[in-house]
Amino acid sequence: MNFQLIRHVGLLPRGCCGKGNAWILGTATRRSTASPPTLLSTATTTRMATRTFFTGRAFRPPQRLQIPSRNGVLLVNQCLRREASTSVASSPSRLKSSPPPPGSKLVYPDRMVIYHAGAGKTGFLAAMKLSTVFLFVFFDMLLTPSYLAAGEPLHKAAAVAVCGVIPLLYVAYSTSPFVTTIHLSVPSFARGSAEMLQRFAKNAPGNTRLDVTTMSLIGKPRVSSMTLADLRPMKKRLGMVNYERDTSFANANRKWWRFRAVGNFNIQKGNDKKVKTGWVWRELENGIFAKAAAGAGAKENDKN
């Protein structure tokens, strides 16, 4: 028996072919004896002669495999253990959490919806916003000039103008913080399974990217990109705002003719159940409240 035969029957992998394992080969093969001569039949001898005649190569009869001794098998097992421990010790990064290989299948996308207000509620608010805009155009740009041109009293023209302004201002003030969707940028190592995603959501760092979508005055989506650390729980506008962020830096870098950055948000409870991955937002929300409570406790300790 030789080392190639051991590897052929599956006792050793290809990694054990190095020169450092020569002492194992010599020990494992010392107890093996030469195979007894094989008796060939007449048909086998005829096939050997025919193949040699046509191909010019000698035919080698099949040899009987030799079963390794017990000591040889034990030495082979020791070789396998040593090779496994050496490979793990030489690459400790395998034990750490690393991104999946490029060819592996990922369960979740890199940009994932974790909150959705619902198509019905979003469509109703968009239609109401457009209706108030049309009312403003009708009352303030058509009727009010007609009243003034007809010589009607000024208070009547002012009343007509107010009928178009009040609905527009109220709807814009009350629905501007309404959040329709929230998208999360998921790192590659958390996209492989639900367990890794849950572990990431419970311990999400502050630089995790979020895209919070609201609606403009005409129902157009407005996407506000921010980090998880930017969101702070806050109650304003009689409960119509429950989250806020600091927009001073974003407004400082904007042109004067552009709309100001959205700083107030209304993320309603229960809407996270309308998407399958809504539980991710619940985990992130728990982390936001926990950090806010820890910050408030630290401020109270500083005052005392």
pLDDT value of position 232: 93
pLDDT at 298: 73
Same domain membership, residue 142 and residue 235: yes
The rounded distance, in Å, linking the Cα atoms of 289 and 282 is 11
Q: In terms of domains, do 118 and 1 share one? A: no
Count of structural domains within the chain: 2
If asked whether residues 186 and 223 sit together in one domain, one would say yes
Q: Please tell me the predicted confidence (pLDDT) of residue 198.
A: 93
**3-state DSSP call for residue 91?**
coil
Q: How far is CA 293 from CA 63, 235, 238, 297, 299, in A?
A: 78, 15, 22, 6, 10
User: What is the distance between the alpha carbons of residues 123 and 254, in angstroms, rounded to a whole number?
Assistant: 30
Position 221 in a domain: yes
Assess whether 139 and 79 both reside in one domain. no
Are residue 128 and residue 273 in the same domain, yes or no? Answer: yes
74 and 160 share one domain: no
Q: What's the pLDDT score for residue 25?
A: 42
pLDDT score at 22: 41
User: Domain of 115?
Assistant: 111-294
Residue 135 lies in a domain: yes
Rounded to two decimals, the pTM is 0.63
**Shared domain check, 222 and 121:** yes
Evaluate whether residue 46 is within a structural domain: no
Please indicate, yes or no, if residue 219 is contained in any of the structural domains. yes
Q: Are residues 72 and 153 in the same domain?
A: no
Pair (80, 203) in one structural domain = no
Q: What is the dihedral of CA 131, 134, 139, 141, to 10 degrees?
A: 160
Residue 301 belongs to a domain: no
- From the first residue on, what is the mean pLDDT of each consecutive set of 10 residues in the chain (304 residues)? 42 45 42 46 60 55 53 62 53 44 74 93 94 94 92 92 94 93 93 92 93 93 94 90 92 88 92 88 93 80 68
Collapse the DSSP code of 227 into the 3-class scheme (helix H, G, I; strand E, B; otherwise coil) and give the result.
Answer: strand
